[in-house]
Amino acid sequence: MSNEVKKALAEDKVAPAETVASDAAEPRNDLNEPRWAVIGGGDRTVRHLTYEQAIECRNVLDAEGIFGLCIVTDETAERVLADQGQS
């Protein structure tokens, strides 16, 4: 598990995405952008992850027995949290 994901899980907040080198010739890949979040039961939300980090985070939370885990965009996580009054 990456240190960023460990720290985000410990703080139950936001994990910085690793810097991704971009090449002007390559098309932008949203999966490598820090725009993903993991939301789940028990008020656990971790935001600003790459998709790979989100999968890793979801697996860790799943192993902790947290149910209802979903990987969504940060924008969707913000709307869900606002609807729940946690924003």
In the prediction, which pLDDT does 26 show? 61
In the prediction, which pLDDT does 20 show? 46
Contact 58, 41 (CB under 8 A): no
- The tally of domains found in the chain comes to 1
More confident position, 66 or 85: 66
Average per-residue pLDDT for the chain: 81
Note whether residue 12 is domain-resident. Answer: yes
Is the pLDDT reported for residue 77 higher than 50?
yes
Note whether residue 26 is domain-resident. Answer: no
Is the pLDDT reported for residue 45 higher than 80?
yes
pTM over 0.75: no
Give mean pLDDT, residues 33-44: 88
Q: How far apart are CA 39 and CA 34, in angstroms?
A: 15
Note whether residue 38 is domain-resident. Answer: yes
Is the pLDDT reported for residue 15 higher than 70?
no
Q: How far apart are CA 26 and CA 29, in angstroms?
A: 9
DSSP lists the bridge partners of residue 36 as 49, 73
In the prediction, which pLDDT does 19 show? 47
Q: Which domain holds residue 49?
A: 3-17+33-83
Note whether residue 28 is domain-resident. Answer: no
